[in-house]
Amino acid sequence: MSFYVTTPIYYVNAQPHLGHAYTTIVADVLARHMRQRGADVFFLTGTDEHGEPVADAARDQGLEPQVLADRNAERFKALAPQLEASNDFFIRTTDDEHMRRVQEVLQRVHDNGYTYKGIYEGWYCPRCADFKVENEILEGNRCPIHEIVLERHSEENWFFALSRFQESIQRLYADRPDFVMPQARYNEALSFINSGLEDISLSRHRLKWGVPVPWDPDHVFYVWFDALLNYYTALGYAREGEDLTDRFWPATYHIIGKDILKFHTVFWPAILMAADLAVPEHVFVHGFLLGSDGRKMSKSLGNVLDPFEVIERFGTEALRFYLVRDVSFGGDGSVGMDAVHVRYESELANEYGNLASRTIAMILRYRDGAVPDVELDPAVVSDFDGLDERVASLLDRADVTAALEQIWQRVRRCNRYVEESAPWQLAREDGDAARLDCVLATLAEALRALAVLLYPYMPTSTETLLSALAAPGWGYDGASLASSGGGRTVSALEPLFPKR
């Protein structure tokens, strides 16, 4: 089973921020989970370095675009490990190999007869690098995303005959109701399609910063086609001497934010069809992270949550957990440092961390660290029944928040079990030794399975816990309760989430 997951490639005209971190973290959760299940996984992220947004930012800073691109690409590249992202490759659209393959694929689109030369005139947002169609334009001729006033542009371009894909795209949506997820985004994309597809420009004449059009080198490709193709080109050169295309194409999941829906759900499948390539299986469109006041995050409003500050104060694991837990994946959600603090204390430190610490401490104190080799308590076992399958099926739909909630209900269940069974009281009476054995074995085994289930969300702390439990495997066959956790000897564990 192969599983190929991608993030958008991020513009290098700005520095990485929480929104970028968010998409990367969620894609990483899916990648790690699928590796647990034994899938052949490829996880791609990278940077989008051509086009007006980058050329303009470089000009404003008095730099050559390549210099700005090199500088900021490094920052994005460094962000991935800080987030514990396990990406298999980091693509830059200024890679020669990428550029060559973009030319190859789009030459095929041209040879297949889907391009023509014409004059494009329209309302253009330089920040989006996108012409806006009538029903997208805000009052006062403003961009719906950046709210800046649009510019009137007219230039000779190569066009992509998108309109000729009207029926094929409609058929794609009819045949594959899960092509775009969640449902509301599918509906949004489909209504855009049903309103009638217009041809779009494929090249830029005035701009030099891009991939040259091979059949007309005075033009460069419109940055969006160069960018979208990264998902395909990367497979050709990510591993030296090996072409991974057959192994991983078409992509399983493109994870994107709602700002770039149209490109991924309409233009992208059309250009792939025009190049005789297979269309990806799913595009998952998530919402926006908003400032703590519910408004769009912006430096001037002072409501920005800085991922690096969160990491410094609470650690990467807490950032990953917080974003997935607090913002229901798919919808918009407000985020702020106070909310991180609350989740950290109440859930990571008090619920999960504490469950881990006291379970291990009790096994050390009452049984010298040896997990009793006895049958588990059926009352707890039944609450874990089918959990691994439910989590897997939610993650098959990229529902990272709902899957985490399923797991968390069992973390809480285990804490209630500790309170109800009161091992410290059982330890006082010799006659209760068998019951104490059962409680401790059940807790140790439940804690182990929970660590396996939580591994994709918090890889480092769960691995620490698994090794303290002397059960280092994180494979998904360990996500359900074994009949006994006996025979292991646990070792002392520092608090996983110390109070801040």
The contact set with ligand MSP (CB under 6 A) reads: 8-11, 19-20, 22-23, 48, 227-228, 230, 256-257, 259-260, 288-289, 297
The residue from 132, 143, 219, 438 that is catalytic is 143
Could you give the count of Cα atoms lying within 13 Å of 2 in the half-sphere of its Cβ?
14
CA–CA dist 103, 421 (Å, integer) = 67
Q: Is 296 labeled as catalytic in the residue annotation?
A: yes
Q: Is 299 labeled as catalytic in the residue annotation?
A: yes
Nearer to ligand MSP, 256 or 436 (CB): 256
Q: What's the one-letter identity of residue 305?
A: L
Minimum distance of ligand MSP from residue 376's CB (angstroms): 41
Q: Is 414 labeled as catalytic in the residue annotation?
A: no
CA torsion sign, 61 to 63 to 65 to 69? negative
Nearer to ligand MSP, 238 or 297 (CB): 297
Q: Which two tokens stand for residue 243?
A: 């072409």
For the chain, first and last CA: distance in Å? Answer: 42
Residue with tokens 């962000």: 79
Could you tell me which of 481, 1, 495, 421 has the C-alpha nearest to residue 247? Answer: 1
Nearer to ligand MSP, 259 or 309 (CB): 259
DSSP string, 286-306: E--EE-TTSSBP-GGGT-PPP
Nearer to ligand MSP, 48 or 383 (CB): 48
CA–CA dist 20, 156 (Å, integer) = 34
Could you tell me which of 298, 225, 253 has the C-alpha nearest to residue 19? Answer: 298
Minimum distance of ligand MSP from residue 165's CB (angstroms): 19
Nearer to ligand MSP, 233 or 421 (CB): 233
Q: Is 286 labeled as catalytic in the residue annotation?
A: no
Minimum distance of ligand MSP from residue 289's CB (angstroms): 4
- Between the alpha carbon of residue 113 and those of residues 170, 193, 213, 274, the distances in Å are 21, 22, 15, 9
**Adjacent-strand bridge partners of 159:** 116, 201
Minimum distance of ligand MSP from residue 49's CB (angstroms): 9
Q: What is the DSSP letter of 212?
A: B
Nearer to ligand MSP, 11 or 209 (CB): 11
The residue from 98, 128, 282, 414 that is catalytic is 128
> How many other CB atoms are there within 10 angstroms of residue 156's CB atom?
15
Question: Going by DSSP bridges, is the β-strand pair 203-204/200-201 parallel, antiparallel, or unpaired?
Answer: unpaired
Nearer to ligand MSP, 211 or 444 (CB): 211
Could you tell me which of 135, 366, 88 has the C-alpha nearest to residue 237? Answer: 88
Could you tell me which of 75, 449, 129, 125 has the C-alpha nearest to residue 263? Answer: 129
Residue with tokens 């590249």: 77
CA–CA dist 109, 115 (Å, integer) = 7
DSSP string, 2-26: EEEEEEEEEETTS---HHHHHHHHH
115 close to 158: Cβ distance less than 8 angstroms: yes
The backbone torsions φ and ψ at residue 238, rounded to the nearest 5 degrees and listed phi first, read: -65, -35
Nearer to ligand MSP, 49 or 437 (CB): 49
Minimum distance of ligand MSP from residue 442's CB (angstroms): 40
Minimum distance of ligand MSP from residue 171's CB (angstroms): 24
Minimum distance of ligand MSP from residue 324's CB (angstroms): 13
Q: Is 208 labeled as catalytic in the residue annotation?
A: no
Nearer to ligand MSP, 281 or 463 (CB): 281
Minimum distance of ligand MSP from residue 445's CB (angstroms): 38
The residue from 33, 50, 125, 286 that is catalytic is 125
Q: Which two tokens stand for residue 381?
A: 């076992």
Measured at CB, which residue is nearest to ligand MSP? Answer: 19
Which helix (H) or strand (E) covers residue 334, if one does? strand 333-334
Residue with tokens 């709210």: 147
Minimum distance of ligand MSP from residue 367's CB (angstroms): 47
- The catalytic site residues sit at 17, 20, 125, 128, 143, 146, 296, 299
